Amino acid sequence: MGKIVRHVQWIIYVFVVQTCIFSIAVFQVRAPLSTDLAYDATHLRVVPDTENYAYLMEDRQEALAIRLALIEQAQEAIEITSYAIHDGQARDVLYGALLSAAIRGVSVRIVIDGFIEGRFISDYQTTRHMMAHPEIDVGFFEPFSIWRPHAVQNRLHDKLLIVDGQYGIIGGRNIGDRYFITPEQTDAITYDRDVLIFGQPHSEAVHAMQTYFDQLFHHPYTQFEANIQPSEASQATTAQLIEAYEAYVSTQILDFETLVVRLHDTAVKTGAITFLHSPLNRMHKEPVIFNTLKELARDYNRFFVQTPYFIADRPMREHFTAFHEAEVTVLTNSPITNPNIMAAAGYLPIRHQLAATTTLHEYHAQSSIHGKTLLMGDDITVIGSYNIDPRSMSLSTESVVVIHSKTFQTVVEAAIEPLIASSLHVSEAGVTNPHEIELFDDSAVRHIVRTLLRFVLRPFDYML
């Protein structure tokens, strides 16, 4: 018996060591795999052949209503990618809308991150029951496997919705109540940002978005659960989800046809809209999005960056030196109120440098910001899933749209103003409260944990 126990202990030890080496330590070698994927930054401001339109989706309720309206109007196909799907009303309402579309013959394809969500979601059965419908296909990108510890760090982080190849939504919102439901109805509030894009007669950016989705959907890293058959349980779940959807539409008094007409009437006509995405290889990726935006930035001297997490390892810090002479404004979460304590700890080492070289605002409230936006000069707006951190730069799948338009940038700036008004200003001289906002105390436990994590995580900042 003792010999068996020692054998089991040895197997566990080997497994733990192997996992640590291939899921963590091996990423210390920051040699990105080569890729043929590249973008020409000079094309990001070329006058397009078609008419492009962009509509900023800042309000959480409107962001959900627009999604539901487009899904309700869909005639052929709906494609969705999401990093996280949280239990709650928003998920049930969206699932109900997708099931209603599938019942009327619309093809629904979804790709979810396989490690964060996959079979580890708290209510996987609801997703599985939805997958029983023949018009719905759900793939899981890089699901966790003990035989592939080297794939653990390469997560799917894109948040896309494509409808009939005509409309595309991209931004920072995952699927969950904190992103879509009114503050009175949920405790956790997140301020996020999406953009709806479309064109006349079509949008090249939406077409590129759909091509990218097809790559994800058919990629060898995306796996599907086979032979899910309809059952009494799946039929009952379908009925419950559709009921939740119809109840929400009735309660909110949503008129989808009128909403779609309003979108067309109020969307901003823009110049070029370009969709960019990262490579799909494992291990470290070439920072294709970052390199493209850095090349575009050569023509500008004023920048605004909004990111929920600002973390920089040594290679990223070297890139930042190119902007020391520029006028840079940064908006990120306060380390005191940021709900992601690991990201807050990863931010602290770069905080002083940012305070010395940029105009630094820290959003300080019971809520948090999750939108990702970059403004260049007065005519370039970048919105997508891309955080300013090493993970977005070279580990996760990421995507953004680059919008060339002075008018649209003005719309985005107006949406940013209330967030800055709820922020503290950080400089070399210290932290000030120019807007006289309510201050929240930093608990002793949280402060200690954050400080300890700052030093514990420092050797692993390339994964934050």
Q: What is the pLDDT of residues 24-41, one digit of tens each?
A: 655 566 667 789 999 999
- Is residue 131, in this structure, part of any structural domain at all? yes
**Same domain as 317, residue 344:** yes
How far is it, in rounded angstroms, from Cα 231 to Cα 355?
A: 58
**Same domain as 253, residue 398:** no
Number of domain units in the chain: 2
Question: How many Cβ atoms are within 10 Å of 349's Cβ, its own excluded?
Answer: 17
**Same domain as 359, residue 373:** yes
- Is residue 28, in this structure, part of any structural domain at all? no
State which of 266, 281, 312 marks the end of a domain: 266
Q: What's the pLDDT tens digit per position in 42-80?
A: 999 998 889 999 999 999 999 999 999 999 999 999 999
- Is residue 29, in this structure, part of any structural domain at all? no
**Same domain as 205, residue 191:** yes
- Is residue 20, in this structure, part of any structural domain at all? no
Q: What's the pLDDT tens digit per position in 390-440?
A: 999 999 999 999 999 999 999 999 999 999 999 999 999 999 999 999 998
Residue 106 contacts residue 135 (beta carbons within 8 Å) = yes
Token representation of residue 184:
């009175």
Range of the domain at 127: 53-266
CA quadruple 174, 128, 209, 167: dihedral positive or negative? negative
Identify the band that residue 385 occupies on the pLDDT scale cut at 50, 70 and 90: very high
- Is residue 94, in this structure, part of any structural domain at all? yes
**Same domain as 303, residue 234:** no
Question: How many Cβ atoms are within 10 Å of 396's Cβ, its own excluded?
Answer: 22
Identify the band that residue 122 occupies on the pLDDT scale cut at 50, 70 and 90: low
- Is residue 2, in this structure, part of any structural domain at all? no
How far is it, in rounded angstroms, from Cα 373 to Cα 414?
A: 13
- Is residue 152, in this structure, part of any structural domain at all? yes
**Same domain as 292, residue 366:** yes
**Same domain as 452, residue 409:** yes
**Same domain as 79, residue 137:** yes
How far is it, in rounded angstroms, from Cα 449 to Cα 286?
A: 33
State which of 247, 266, 285 marks the end of a domain: 266
State which of 266, 301, 318 marks the end of a domain: 266
**Same domain as 301, residue 240:** no
**CATH number (domain holding residue 86):** 3.30.870.10
Q: Which residue has the tokens 């039929």?
A: 235
**Same domain as 235, residue 122:** yes
**Same domain as 307, residue 192:** no
Identify the band that residue 456 occupies on the pLDDT scale cut at 50, 70 and 90: confident
Q: Which residue has the tokens 């403004």?
A: 375
**Same domain as 216, residue 143:** yes
